[in-house]
Amino acid sequence: MSVQVLSRSDTRDAAGRATPAGGRARRFLRRRGWLRLISPVAVVVLWQVLSLTHVLPVRKLQSPVSVAHTAYNLVTTNSPTYGTLQGALLASAERWAIGLSIGVAIAVVLAVVSGLSRIGENTFDPLLNAARSVPLLGLLPLFIVWFGIEDLPKILFVMLGALFPMYVNTFAGIRSVDPKFGELGQVLGLSRWELVRHILLPGALPSAFTGLRLSVIGSLLALVVAEQINATSGLGYMIDTAEQFLANSTIVVCLIVYAIIGLLVDGGVRMLERRALAWRREFVP
Amino acid sequence: MATRVRSVSKAAGATTTGSAVATGQFAASVQDLTKRFGSRTVLDGLSLDIKAGEFVALIGRSGSGKSTLLRALAGLDRDVSGSMAVAEPVAVAFQEPRLVPWKRVLDNLTLGLRVPEPTRVATEALAEVGLAERISAWPLTLSGGEAQRASLARALVRSPSLFLLDEPFSALDALTTISMHRLVLQLWERHRPAVLLVTHDVDEALALADRVLVLGAGRIAYSTIVDVPRPRDRNHSTLIELRLRLLRELGVSVGDTGELI
């Protein structure tokens, strides 16, 4: 009986260690998630093809190349109607950042208060659940009546978009910490504060991160809506004005910018999450 | 040396148990302890004393109240009547290691540790249980045996007067359990806490303890001293006899040569 040795095609890296077939270049590509870009890029290519072949009419939606051209113009020309794209982006980003951070901060405080005591829960939870059920869109006109047409109602709106997902998830996270750790805390003689700091809050962190990512989306949505009504600056204002001039590609550019900032911030949150939750062993099927 | 005493006393026996422990002679003193869950009485006027430095094993059938007693001694269950005093500090090792997953092993040990040099003390304790290389590991990356060893280290780092173990090895495989027995004895011989080991395993009780108690009908039904020098050979005649006796006390039908009947 002969024994056959099966060999893998091996490459050696700089230090002479064997690396799996394909070498470092292929591993770099695989690791950085470049694969995730394939489908969006494919969609853009498809879009361009559909525009070129006139399957997609120019009146409805212009080609990606044309949209890129418009974006370039918006960035370089400071038009009296729109201002520049960067200017609009800055105005929107500022509102978003303020509304998101305040909303998240308030949500965390409320979640901790509700999570740590029955009285807190009975006070705040019913209120928040009721408020959550009111459709945000319906509130916007009311906000304008109450808070005027400057930045305040918009920021408050963004804040609300961030508040509810963060509250719900953080509260659930605190309550889901295994009571066995509560017993452990007792046995180790931890003070109430130490219990909160070392056991309850870190234990709630995974759920809180989920809440944070949902807040990012929710507040961005709220921003898009709020900026289209009675705005004088920002991407939403740009969209609104472009609508009046029937400048579709401007609208598309603005929407893409919204999407990009959303993705960037979400990516940032996910990176933070991976660092903060490095202790988990995740089941990836 | 004055011992700190924690008392749960709702009866006249309060002073007896309290003073017995305060003298330092006993690590735990329980008198007339009763615990009810609704209409079910789990502990029924149970009394027991554990001397300082003594290794006691408590065995009993499932549901006999072993864990209930341990939890009462640990202070986790205050809803009991009778009187009880324990010498503090009390350390507990649970059946699951209960390491906080978001803290590294070393930080798990120093959590709540109020001594002058917590990191040094914790590192030494981890070395003692053979985990010197895992001090920066995340708990979820430890094997069952390693995690339980960390849990033991965490208990011992507090220099307990009373060390309570609630079936700590029942989730481990047989080989790991053997090395854990060896480790527990080593740690006990070096640090000399009083130990109460709750277990369902008669052989474990006989291998480790000075005294074995059987819990039945809510109280100590049987108690025996194991007067065999350590390390013990399972086939020692005294141990064989005791095993038979204990199994019978637990209600297992065994013949005179140990066969199940």
How far is it, in rounded angstroms, from Cα A114 to Cα A206?
Answer: 18
Indicate the domain borders of chain A. 95-276
Which residues make Cβ contacts (< 8 Å) with residue A258, sequence separation at least 6? A92, A220, A224, A235
Residue of A183, A179, A177 lying closest to B94 (CA atoms)? A183
How far is it, in rounded angstroms, from Cα B210 to Cα A170?
Answer: 49
Is the pLDDT at B108 greater than 70? The verdict is yes
How far is it, in rounded angstroms, from Cα A231 to Cα A240?
Answer: 8
Question: Is residue A159 within 8 Å of A106, Cβ to Cβ?
Answer: yes
How many of the other CB atoms lie within 10 Å of CB of B141?
13
Query: Which residue is closest to A179 within chain B, CA to CA?
Result: B98
Q: Which two tokens stand for residue B183?
A: 């480790």
Question: Is residue A162 within 8 Å of A99, Cβ to Cβ?
Answer: yes
- Residue A26 vs residue B207, higher pLDDT: B207
Name the residue type at position A66.
S
> Is the Cα torsion angle B118, A202, B97, B105 positive or negative in sign?
negative
How far is it, in rounded angstroms, from Cα B46 to Cα B36?
Answer: 12
Q: Mind listing the pLDDT tens digit for each residue in B60-93?
A: 988 889 999 999 999 999 889 999 999 989 999 9
Q: What is the mean pLDDT of residues B92-110?
A: 95
Whether A206 contacts chain B with CB within 8 A:
no
Q: Which two tokens stand for residue B182?
A: 């060896």
A188: nearest CB among B102, B111, B140: B111
Question: Is residue A198 within 8 Å of A190, Cβ to Cβ?
Answer: yes
How far is it, in rounded angstroms, from Cα A41 to Cα A60?
Answer: 21
Which residues make Cβ contacts (< 8 Å) with residue A27, sequence separation at least 6? A19, A20
CA distances from B35 to A143, B50, B65 (A): 59, 20, 9
Q: What is the mean pLDDT of residues A106-123?
A: 90
Roughly how many angstroms between the first and final C-alpha of chain A, as a whole number?
Answer: 39
Segment among A126-140, B177-191, B239-253 with least mean pLDDT: A126-140
Query: Which residue is closest to B163 within chain A, CA to CA?
Result: A187
Whether A199 contacts chain B with CB within 8 A:
yes
Q: Mind listing the pLDDT tens digit for each residue in A36-56?
A: 778 888 998 998 999 888 888
Note the pLDDT of residue A250. Answer: 87
Q: What is the mean pLDDT of chain B?
A: 90
Asked if residue B89 has a cis previous peptide bond (ω within 30° of 0), the answer is yes
Cβ of B100 within 8 Å of Cβ of A199? The answer is: yes
How far is it, in rounded angstroms, from Cα B173 to Cα A204?
Answer: 32
Q: Mind listing the pLDDT tens digit for each residue in A227-273?
A: 887 778 888 888 888 888 888 888 888 888 888 888 899 999 999 99
Whether A246 contacts chain B with CB within 8 A:
no
Q: Mind listing the pLDDT tens digit for each residue in B145-170?
A: 999 999 999 999 999 999 999 999 99
Cβ of B112 within 8 Å of Cβ of A202? The answer is: no
Segment among B19-28, B66-75, B77-86, B179-188 with least mean pLDDT: B19-28
Q: What superfamily does domain A95-276 belong to in CATH? A: MetI-like (1.10.3720.10)
Whether A181 contacts chain B with CB within 8 A:
yes
Give strand ranges (E) for chain B: 4-9, 26-37, 40-51, 55-60, 81-88, 90-93, 162-166, 194-199, 211-216, 219-225
Q: What is the mean pLDDT of residues B53-58?
A: 96
DSSP secondary structure code for residue B139 in this structure = G
Is the pLDDT at B172 greater than 80? The verdict is yes
Q: What is the mean pLDDT of chain A?
A: 84
DSSP secondary structure code for residue A199 in this structure = I
Q: Mind listing the pLDDT tens digit for each residue in B198-232?
A: 999 999 999 999 999 999 989 999 999 999 998 89
Q: Which residues of A touch B76 (CB under 8 A)?
A: 183, 186-187
CA distance A187 to chain B (A): 7
How many of the other CB atoms lie within 10 Å of CB of A175?
16
How far is it, in rounded angstroms, from Cα B99 to Cα B101?
Answer: 6
| Sheet containing B40-51: order of strands | B4-9, B81-88, B26-37, B40-51
Cβ of B76 within 8 Å of Cβ of A181? The answer is: no
What was the ipTM of the complex prediction? 0.88
Helices (H), chain A: 23-31, 35-52, 64-76, 85-116, 118-133, 136-147, 151-175, 179-187, 192-195, 201-227, 235-244, 248-276
Is the pLDDT at B13 greater than 80? The verdict is no
Q: What is the mean pLDDT of residues A152-174?
A: 93
Is the pLDDT at A26 greater than 70? The verdict is no
B102: nearest CB among A184, A185, A202: A202
CA distance A80 to chain B (A): 54
Chain centre to alpha carbon of residue A232: 25
Is the pLDDT at B1 greater than 50? The verdict is no
